[in-house]
C-alpha cells in the first residue's frame, strides 16, 4: 500500500486541500509503536495495530525558514475509554513578514480505518483531544479537526469534494478561508456556539467549511464528531449519503517557536 505510487495517492487522500510538491523518492516511513521523530516533509509513521498515522506535512516547505517536527511518543490504553496516541508538534519557524499569512504545513494524527463510509453508516466518531502549548516567541496557528467528504466514495481531490474544519483554538491572527460574514451560526454544539465560514481553496477548487467556536477550547475537547457532521447536514451542506473519506486532528502552523504536546483518541465506529 505504501510503495511510491500508492504513497502519493495516500498523501492526497489524507489532506488534499494543499498544493503538494511530491518528492522524487517516497518519504521515510516507519510502521511500529516505537517512539519516533518526523522532521522532513511528508515524513510519517503508521502506528501498527491502531487506526492512526502520525504525519509531518510541510506543504509550503519552500517558504519555511526553520524546522518543524511531528513526534510520536506512545499509544496509551486508559482504564476507561478508547486508546489514545500521545504525540507532539515542535515548531521553530522564523517570522518572515512576506509569508506571515501563509501556513507552512500541518502536523497531525490521521485515521486509516473505517473511512470511505457514508455518514448514515457511521454510528459515532468519538473524539478526545487534549493539548498543552508552550510558546517562547509569538506563534501563529491553530488546533483543529479536519475531515474530507464527497458524494463519491474515495474522492478527496476533485472540486466535488468538501473540506470540513472544526477549529478548537487559534492564535496569532489566523483566519479561515472565507473569513468575513459568517454563513451560519450553530448553537449548542460541544458546549458552545459556532460560526461557519465558507470559501474556495484557490489552489484546489475545493470548498472549505470552517467552524470557529464563540468560546475557544482551553486545552481539551471531548465529543462525538458525528454531531458536527449532522449539524452540516441540517444546514444542507451535504446529505447523510455523503462519504467521509478523510479524518484527522492536528495543528496548523505559520511561524513561531512552540511546542505542543497532545493526546488524541479518535476513531470511526460503524453502525
Please indicate whether residue 98 or residue 19 has the higher confidence score (pLDDT): 98
For residues 269 and 271, give the distance between their C-alpha atoms in angstroms, rounded to a whole number.
7
Q: Under the phi-then-psi rule, with left for phi > 0, alpha for psi from -120 to 50, and beta for the rest, what region is 64? A: beta
Q: Is 127 exposed, middle or buried (0-12, 13-18, 19+ CB in 10 A)?
A: buried
pLDDT at 21 over 90: no
Domains of the chain, earliest start first: 4-266 (2.60.120.180)
Residues in the chain: 271
CA angle 114, 220, 57 (to 5 degrees): 55
pLDDT at 5 over 50: no
* Residue 78 confidence (pLDDT): 79
pLDDT at 38 over 90: yes
Q: Are 141 and 253 in contact (CB under 8 A)?
A: yes
Query: How high does pLDDT run on average in the chain?
Result: 90
For residues 62 and 39, give the distance between their C-alpha atoms in angstroms, rounded to a whole number.
14
* Residue 3 confidence (pLDDT): 27
Q: Which three cell numbers stand for residue 79?
A: 482504564
Q: Are 182 and 196 in contact (CB under 8 A)?
A: yes
Q: Where are the beta strands (DSSP E) in 50-125?
A: 52-57, 66-76, 84-93, 105-111, 117-118, 122-124
Q: Under the phi-then-psi rule, with left for phi > 0, alpha for psi from -120 to 50, and beta for the rest, what region is 188? A: left
Report pLDDT digits (tens) over 44-73: 999 999 999 999 999 999 999 999 999 999
Q: Are 260 and 130 in contact (CB under 8 A)?
A: no
Residue 222: pLDDT band (50, 70, 90) is: very high
Q: Are 258 and 77 in contact (CB under 8 A)?
A: no
Looking only at the bridges linking them, the beta strands covering 243-266 and 117-118 are antiparallel
pLDDT at 32 over 50: yes
CA–chain centroid gap for 220, Å, is: 16
pTM: 0.89
In degrees rounded to 5, what are phi and psi of residue 157? -125, -20
Amino acid at each position: 500500500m505504501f510503495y511510491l505510487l500508492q504513497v502519493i495517492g495516500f498523501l492526497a487522500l489524507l489532506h488534499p486541500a494543499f498544493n503538494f510538491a511530491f518528492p522524487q523518492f517516497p518519504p521515510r516511513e516507519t510502521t511500529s509503536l516505537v517512539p519516533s521523530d518526523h522532521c522532513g516533509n511528508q515524513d510519517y509513521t503508521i502506528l501498527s495495530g491502531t487506526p492512526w498515522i502520525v504525519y509531518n506535512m510541510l506543504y509550503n516547505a519552500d517558504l519555511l525558514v526553520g524546522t518543524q517536527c511531528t513526534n510520536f511518543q506512545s499509544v496509551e490504553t486508559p482504564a476507561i475509554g478508547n486508546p489514545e496516541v500521545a504525540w507532539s508538534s515542535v515548531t521553530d519557524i522564523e517570522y518572515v513578514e512576506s509569508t506571515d499569512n501563509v501556513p507552512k504545513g500541518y502536523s497531525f494524527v490521521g485515521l486509516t480505518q473505517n473511512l470511505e463510509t457514508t455518514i448514515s453508516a457511521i454510528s459515532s466518531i468519538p473524539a478526545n483531544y487534549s493539548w498543552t502549548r508552550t510558546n517562547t516567541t509569538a506563534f501563529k496557528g491553530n488546533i483543529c479537526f479536519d475531515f474530507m467528504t464527497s458524494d463519491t466514495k474515495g474522492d478527496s481531490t476533485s472540486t466535488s469534494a468538501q473540506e470540513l474544519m472544526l477549529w478548537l483554538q487559534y492564535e496569532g491572527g489566523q483566519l479561515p478561508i472565507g473569513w468575513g460574514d459568517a454563513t451560519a451560526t450553530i448553537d449548542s454544539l460541544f458546549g458552545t456556539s459556532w460560526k461557519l465560514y465558507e470559501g474556495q481553496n484557490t489552489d484546489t477548487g475545493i470548498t472549505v467549511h470552517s467552524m470557529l467556536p464563540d468560546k475557544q477550547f482551553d486545552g481539551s475537547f471531548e465529543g462525538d464528531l458525528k454531531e458536527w457532521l449532522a449539524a452540516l447536514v441540517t444546514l444542507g451542506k451535504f446529505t447523510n449519503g455523503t462519504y467521509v473519506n478523510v479524518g484527522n486532528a492536528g495543528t496548523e502552523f505559520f511561524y513561531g517557536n512552540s511546542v505542543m504536546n497532545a493526546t488524541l483518541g479518535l476513531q470511526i465506529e460503524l453502525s
